[in-house]
Amino acid sequence: MLDINMVRNQPEVVRQALVNRSEPTDSLDAILAFDVQRRDILKQSEQLRALRNSVSKEISKMKDATAREAKIAEMRAVGDQIAALEVDLKKVETQLEELTTAIPNVPDLRTPVGLSEDDNVVLRTEGAPRQFDFAPKPHWELGVALGILDFERGVKLSGTRFYVLNGAGARLQRALITWMLDLHTQQGYREEYLPFMVKQQTLFAAGQLPKFKDNLYHDVEEDFWMVPTAEVPLTNLHGGEILSADQLPLHYCAYTPCFRREKMKAGSDVRGIKRGHQFDKVEMYMFCTPESSDAELEKMLADAEAVCKGLGLTYRVKQLCTSDIGFSARMTYDLEVWAPGCGEWLEVSSVSNCGDFQARRANIKYRRETGAKVELVHTLNGSGLALPRTMIAVMENYQQVDGSIVVPDVLRAFVGMDVIR
């Protein structure tokens, strides 16, 4: 959520941000109008409240019954006026909130302006794609042939786009999770085990609600929401708290499954495990001071890259343009790994600086020093990494001519074998 003071004082900054994000700007004018209305009504009702408060005090001391009754009657009328104003106020505030919470974050000035994902900028590519002396197979062929990936039974259990990992396939994924968490722990992130179901407010604070309601699974009976990413519970770990400056920065990492109800285009990404309603992810998250978030973003990017490097994967770093960065983000880097079997660059990580946008929604503040005013923290999040696509990259890059898959060095101890055959 944006600071209403900022919207009020620098509406052109917000308007330009919306234009750069290819978002409509009409709500901005409505916000400004509602804001004026709100403060106008507020002023009136506060004055009346002040009057009632002081007269009520007088009433308690009044001896003369007639005069007392007169004042009470007078205040009864004032109370009615206040009630009427409050009704108006609530209406205005509801509309104001609806609009302001739907405004995305203002992109960082360094985020390239662009109209679509085609305008994202490839900053660099690390490593050269492996050269094969045979035709590399896609993971859905490799996995099924090896008996470590079962689409049919996944569909039997849950429908299209679900799958089962068997034996070494399941072990490989678990190995990746464990290794990634260990790596991030070494990098200074504290591992957390989190709820996979959260309440509404938790999703609101992370910027998922109300705008992305359609992408979430919701248990109506108990009002539990399945997390679409660990970013959601991680953001709220310190919700409503005032941290002290010497606690910052706080680094966390967590493994969670992610549940997404996205309406997938028929025919797109249908094959394999690239996109599903359920996937696993290891996530990094950070709370820090405003002046350090730029540098921390670079650290988090490096930490995510370390996963790709450790696995010996060829990857490229992209900087997302204004129309492709997430709702809460100011600046985002994507990591894409090369998958030779399906011949695609796969997005395995998205590392973002959200500035104070999430902190404002989640009410996460810190005090610079004793006695100082509280300020909002900055939050950053980054995948480290998304599991299915990492699995794809590992399977397809480490395949051999006979269809077996060499286990990357760093995972061998966890998988318990050198080659999956």
Stretch that binds RNA, among 48-56, 153-161, 289-297, 320-328 (CB under 7 A): 48-56
Has 190 been annotated as catalytic? no
Give helix 168-186 / helix 387-397 axis angle, nearest 10°. Answer: 110
What's the rounded Cα separation, in Å, for the pair 342 and 278?
21
- Least distance CB 372 / RNA (angstroms): 9
What's the rounded Cα separation, in Å, for the pair 177 and 167?
16
Has 275 been annotated as catalytic? yes
- 3-class SS of residue 5: helix
- Residues 288 and 249 sit within 8 Å (Cβ to Cβ): yes
Stretch that binds RNA, among 50-58, 162-170, 230-238, 247-255 (CB under 7 A): 50-58
Residue found under tokens 């980054």 = 382
Looking at 13, 33, 50, 302, which residue binds RNA (CB under 7 A)?
50
Q: DSSP E strands: which ranges in 131-207?
A: 149-150, 164-165, 190-192, 197-198
Residue 190 near RNA by CB under 7 A:
no
Looking at 5, 66, 131, 268, which residue binds RNA (CB under 7 A)?
5
- Reported residue count of the chain is 421
What's the rounded Cα separation, in Å, for the pair 232 and 254?
11
Looking at 60, 66, 131, 268, which residue binds RNA (CB under 7 A)?
60
Has 161 been annotated as catalytic? no
Structure token pair of residue 132: 């094969």
Residue 75 near RNA by CB under 7 A:
yes
Residue 368 near RNA by CB under 7 A:
no
Helix (H) or strand (E) holding 174: helix 168-186
Has 260 been annotated as catalytic? yes
Stretch that binds RNA, among 52-60, 151-159, 210-218, 321-329 (CB under 7 A): 52-60
Has 76 been annotated as catalytic? no
Residue 32 near RNA by CB under 7 A:
no
Q: Round the CA-based radius of gyration of the chain to a whole number and report it.
A: 27
Stretch that binds RNA, among 46-54, 128-136, 289-297, 347-355 (CB under 7 A): 46-54
Residue 257 near RNA by CB under 7 A:
no
Question: In 101-158, where does DSSP find H-type helix?
Answer: 139-146, 151-158
Catalytic residues: 260, 275, 347, 350, 389
| Residues engaged in binding RNA (CB under 7 A) | 4-5, 39, 42-43, 46-47, 49-50, 52-57, 59-60, 72, 75-76, 79, 242, 365, 367, 370-371, 373-374
